[in-house]
Amino acid sequence: MDNEFNRYYIKIRTTLGINAKTICEELTDALGYDAPSYATVKRWAKRFREGRDDVDDDPRSGRPVSMLTDENIERVRQVIEDDRHSTYDDIMAETPLSYVTIERIIHDCLKMRKVTSRWVAHQLTDEQKQERLRICRQNLAKFRNGT
């Protein structure tokens, strides 16, 4: 959003006939280190002088900026639920996602981490806590019975 405001400022000042160096100095005085570089101001001023009206970035080819869609998050969740011992390579084989995207989904969206080769939630829900308590009691009873 800041870039958009900077570009509007550059557009208005360029329309008034002010050169790129002066515009850059004004932005630097106002914004300090957050100001765009002189090369950026010069490039955008040239575009506006050539008749460009739009201040948005040009569309770029290639992979979308974010693969963190609800559908992809659900796909990763399903792979992990099917096999808690799955690895990043397993998930990559079943989804078209990259390692970094899978890592972001697991850690940031699903809030999981790998513990003893299993994916577990960072924060257990009350149901999960009760289930773990039940299993621990069963195992303790088996131990006491010697089975």
Instruction: Name the residue among 63, 118, 65 with its Cα closest to residue 96.
Output: 63
Q: What is the pTM of this model?
A: 0.45
| CATH code 3.40.50 for 2-49 | no
DSSP character at residue 68 = -
Is 2-49's fold the same as 63-147's? yes
Which residue carries 């008034």 as its tokens?
16
What residue spans define the domains of the chain?
2-49, 63-147
- Residue 139: the pLDDT is 92
Dig out the tokens for 120 from the structure.
């577990």
Measured distance CA(38)–CA(28) in Å, rounded: 9
DSSP 66: -
- Integer Cα distance of 40 and 52 in angstroms: 15
Q: What pLDDT does residue 24 have?
A: 93
**What pLDDT score does 108 carry?**
86
Task: Name the architecture of domain 63-147.
Answer: Orthogonal Bundle (1.10)
pLDDT at 125: 84
Judge whether 30 and 2 are in contact, CB under 8 Å: no
Per-residue pLDDT tens digits for 60-101 = 776 665 677 888 899 999 999 888 888 889 999 998 888 888
